[in-house]
Amino acid sequence: MNELRALLVTAQPEVERVFSAVLESTNDTLFVAQEMSAAVLAAGAEQPALVFIDLTLPAATGLALVHHVLATHPKASIVALATQQGLVTAAEAISLGATGLLLLPPDGDAVLRAIGEVRARRNAEESIARLTLERGALFDQAEAMTRAVSVARGGNDREIAEALVALFVLASGARGAAFFGAESSTGTRQRLAAFGSGYELRDTYPDAELGQVASARSAQLHVFGPVSRPLGCALIERATATASDRTASAVAFAAALLMISARAAASIPPAPESQVVPEEQFARVLERTIEDGKPGLLVAMVPTPNGRVDLAKLPLKDEGALCGQRPDGSAWIVLPGRAPSDVPPLLLSIGTRGVGVAAFPSDGQRAAKLLSLAEARAREAARSPFYDLTNPGVSVGALAQALLRSASLESRVSSLFPLELSMTSLESLLAHTARITQRASRATPLSITVASADADHLAKATNAAFDAERSKVRVSNVASLPECEGVEAIVVSSPLASWALVGRWDKERLRAVHTCDPSTCAALAARILAAIGPGK
Amino acid sequence: MSSSDQIRGLLAEIRGHDPTTSRFVVVVCGAPARIATFSRACLRLASFRPPPEETPAVPVPHAVALMPLGDALELYVYALPLVPAYAPLWPLTLSTAHVVVRIDQSASRLLDEACAISGKSALAATTLLPTFTEDDEDLVGALVNAAVEAAIR
């Protein structure tokens, strides 16, 4: 139980005797003043938490004292002592701010209760203050944690480290902290971030010297995190004054918390550590794999509009694969012992969008060449969902089939949208599309490229739909070409707007897809025109 | 003063807003059933005329009515039926619009994206005119008037 320091201001020895006896029994400290000036001095010198003021002091000095104590020691609790006849004065004291009233002559039990109430109130206030402080600290930590996770999701290693160091300083009460990267090939650790006072650190330190720096500064050196990540170790200079009550376990807890947040973040995939190779070491790992002379595949993945590569979702361990990832989200996977014809489940789970594959040794036996080849193919595949569009080896007929297979509503206007139409509806659609494309293009030249079983009929309907004089319309019938057989393809394009439709007739209905994605339209038009051949 | 007269009264401001255009385009987006009702109500207004082109057989964006404003300027009301399968055609129409109004929340994500591509934003009919219903020609006229005012001010 906390000791209370109480001040009694009274000129009555009998009152003083009762209070002395009670406070002695509760092991609290009592100071006594018998008149105004002594009370003022005692209140300033002893800083009592509880002040009993006898309102029967001469010349109404009791009320003046209540006013003075409240003004100069606002945290002190005041209990007024009044007689039955002086209750009016007592009411005035309470209106000034006194928190309690005891009737004179005092009863020991009443004094005890008054002290108990004050003690309970003070304990509650202290608890509230402590909880408020703790809540503030927790809010600060939560904010810093949110920032760290947010940075970790989209930031590079250095940004992550800076955010985590800031959180570290906050969570541990350290005066300063520095993060050093993983051991590099030269056996040194690189400083990623430093915060706090008194740090004039070099950019790199050999491991041993870093330990010496820590001891010279009486700092703690924590090593944590996977060795393949740059969160290699942290140098923490502890606070000596303001946060001296923080313990080493708090620092360790903060470190663990940081690692949990970092692991949870998307940019640190929780894939098995042995399967993930640092970016700078991946080329070397690939070279060693190629040196074996066995065949294998190198898969490059680049971020697509649908999102970043998520290594955590890939069955890397099952395939014996090793992977590396760049901060921009692109990644490589090397699959030793796999032939191009042997499509592993891993590739099936990745899909084809934004994915390029190079095979060794058939595509080369140098790591740099394989990496650039696979990455170029991945970037090509990421350009459009219809990567076959740019592959000259695919006929327009096969292309139409592929587009029909991949037709899906992705809730994006540039996605492929499936359609099923009759010939009448197709004519109407083409005519309207030509018209609104022309309108959207503000009378700039309009090009219509058609591969159709009935291109002449479509061309007639289209020409009737808009003012041909204001446009340069080209309708090309490539339906007779073998590679366009059975295909219905229409591309309406102008410098400002474009639209493409491709499909196949199924009895009286046209099963087709259409899009306004400019790159898809341009690629499709180029493929149809290439089928016509130059000069035709 | 009728809605048509009010719109005509805005001629000078429309000219000030876009001095070169010969068409001031209001695009109204909504579910096909509501668009059909809206189109019929539009054509019940005396000053609106049917457009020269036929209504298409497929639910693609199309003109529903036009109103000559004078000074070689016409007000065109386009309908954009919010049928997702025809979403690739929406940006083509929206890019010509001076103002875009949506009368319901059909295909709202696709419409938002098409608007973003076209650099437009769709205004809610109930924001322009809280009492709007598409089967009342007076309210349809008032909506078109409110949309034109929103576009030029």
The answer to which of A182-191, A203-212, B5-14, B25-34 has the lowest mean pLDDT is A182-191
Q: How far is CA A86 from the centre of its chain?
A: 67
CATH number at residue A181: 3.30.450.40
CB nearest B85 (choices: A417, A465, A496): A417
Q: Residue A409: what pLDDT?
A: 47
Pair (A167, A82) in one structural domain: no
Beta bridge partners of A509: A506
Model confidence band, residue B99 (pLDDT cutoffs 50, 70, 90): very high
As a whole number of angstroms, the distance between CA A82 and CA A101 comes to 7
**A117 within some domain:** no
User: Residue B64: pLDDT above 90?
Assistant: yes
Pair (A286, A257) in one structural domain: no
A368 to chain B nearest CA, in Å? 39
Q: Is A432's CB within 8 Å of B113's CB?
A: no
CATH number at residue A354: 3.30.70.270
A501 to chain B nearest CA, in Å? 10
In 3D space, the residue among A170, A133, A169, A167 whose CA is nearest the CA of residue A150 turns out to be: A167
Which of A408, A413, A429, A430 has the highest number of chain B CBs within 10 A, making it the mutation to test binding with B? A413
Q: Is B56's CB within 8 Å of A440's CB?
A: no
Q: Is B89's CB within 8 Å of A516's CB?
A: yes
Q: Own/partner pairs for A234-237, CB < 8 Å, 24+ apart?
A: A234/A165, A234/A168, A234/A177, A234/A178, A234/A179, A234/A180, A235/A177, A235/A178, A235/A180, A235/A201, A235/A210, A236/A168, A236/A172, A236/A174, A236/A176, A236/A177, A237/A174, A237/A175, A237/A176, A237/A177, A237/A196, A237/A197, A237/A198, A237/A199
Pair (A523, A410) in one structural domain: yes
A477 to chain B nearest CA, in Å? 23
Pair (A259, A155) in one structural domain: yes
Say if CB B4 and CB B46 are below 8 A apart. yes
As a whole number of angstroms, the distance between CA B112 and CA B122 comes to 7
How many CA atoms lie within 13 Å of B130's alpha carbon, on the beta-carbon side? 0
Say whether A304 sits in a helix, a strand or coil.
Answer: strand
As a whole number of angstroms, the distance between CA A307 and CA A381 comes to 14
* Domain that residue A88 falls in: 5-106
Model confidence band, residue A223 (pLDDT cutoffs 50, 70, 90): low
First to last CA, chain A: 102
As a whole number of angstroms, the distance between CA A530 and CA A513 comes to 21
For the residues B79-97, what does the mean pLDDT come to? 89
ipTM higher than the 0.85 cut? no
Return mean pLDDT, chain A.
Answer: 71
User: Residue A264: pLDDT above 60?
Assistant: no
Say whether A488 sits in a helix, a strand or coil.
Answer: strand
CA distances from A181 to A64, A189, A325 (A): 67, 5, 17
Q: In total, how many domains does chain A have?
A: 4
A88, two tokens? 């009016």
Q: Is B88's CB within 8 Å of A421's CB?
A: no
In B, which residues are within 8 Å of A515 by CB distance?
88
CB nearest B92 (choices: A414, A431, A499): A499
Pair (A485, A409) in one structural domain: yes
Tens digit of pLDDT for each residue in A297-331?
888 887 765 455 667 667 666 667 778 877 777 88
**A147 within some domain:** yes
Contacts (Cβ under 8 Å, ≥6 apart) of A340: A297, A357, A359, A362
Q: How far is CA B6 from the centre of its chain?
A: 16
In A, which residues are within 8 Å of B86 by CB distance?
417, 419
Pair (A517, A402) in one structural domain: yes
Model confidence band, residue B78 (pLDDT cutoffs 50, 70, 90): very high
As a whole number of angstroms, the distance between CA A392 and CA A373 comes to 18
Tens digit of pLDDT for each residue in A53-109?
998 887 777 888 888 888 778 788 889 999 888 888 888 888 778 888 888 888 888
Tens digit of pLDDT for each residue in A37-48?
888 888 888 888
Pair (A518, A466) in one structural domain: yes
Pair (A256, A316) in one structural domain: no
Pair (A234, A292) in one structural domain: no
In A, which residues are within 8 Å of B114 by CB distance?
413
Phi, psi of B79 (to 5 degrees): -105, 140
Q: Is A429's CB within 8 Å of B58's CB?
A: yes
**A377 within some domain:** yes
- More confident site: A390 or A502: A502
In A, which residues are within 8 Å of B51 by CB distance?
none
CATH number at residue A19: 3.40.50.2300
CATH number at residue A527: 3.30.870
Tens digit of pLDDT for each residue in A339-397?
766 655 666 556 666 778 888 887 888 888 888 888 887 776 665 445 555 555 666 77
**A134 within some domain:** no
Touching check for B61 and chain A: CB below 8 Å? yes
Pair (A227, A331) in one structural domain: no
Contacts (Cβ under 8 Å, ≥6 apart) of B78: B25, B26, B27, B28, B61, B62, B63, B64, B93, B97
Question: Which B residues in the span 71-130 are in contact with A, Cβ-Cβ below 8 Å?
Answer: 84-93, 95-96, 109-110, 113-114, 117
Pair (A321, A356) in one structural domain: yes
In 3D space, the residue among A512, A506, A486 whose CA is nearest the CA of residue A407 turns out to be: A512
In B, which residues are within 8 Å of A491 by CB distance?
none
Q: Residue A266: what pLDDT?
A: 34
Tell me the count of A-B CB pairs closer than 8 A: 79
Tens digit of pLDDT for each residue in A230-251?
345 555 555 433 333 443 444 4
Say if CB A422 and CB A508 are below 8 A apart. yes
Q: Own/partner pairs for B14-23, CB < 8 Å, 24+ apart?
A: B14/B69, B14/B73, B14/B148, B14/B152, B15/B71, B15/B73, B16/B152, B17/B98, B17/B151, B17/B152, B18/B98, B21/B73, B21/B98, B22/B72, B22/B73, B22/B74, B23/B73, B23/B74, B23/B75, B23/B76, B23/B96
Model confidence band, residue A270 (pLDDT cutoffs 50, 70, 90): very low
As a whole number of angstroms, the distance between CA A420 and CA A395 comes to 23
Put the strands of the sheet holding B62-70 in their side by side order: B62-70, B73-81, B23-30, B99-102, B122-124
Model confidence band, residue A269 (pLDDT cutoffs 50, 70, 90): very low
A126, two tokens? 């202290």
Query: Could you tell me the domains of chain B?
Result: 3-152 (3.40.50)
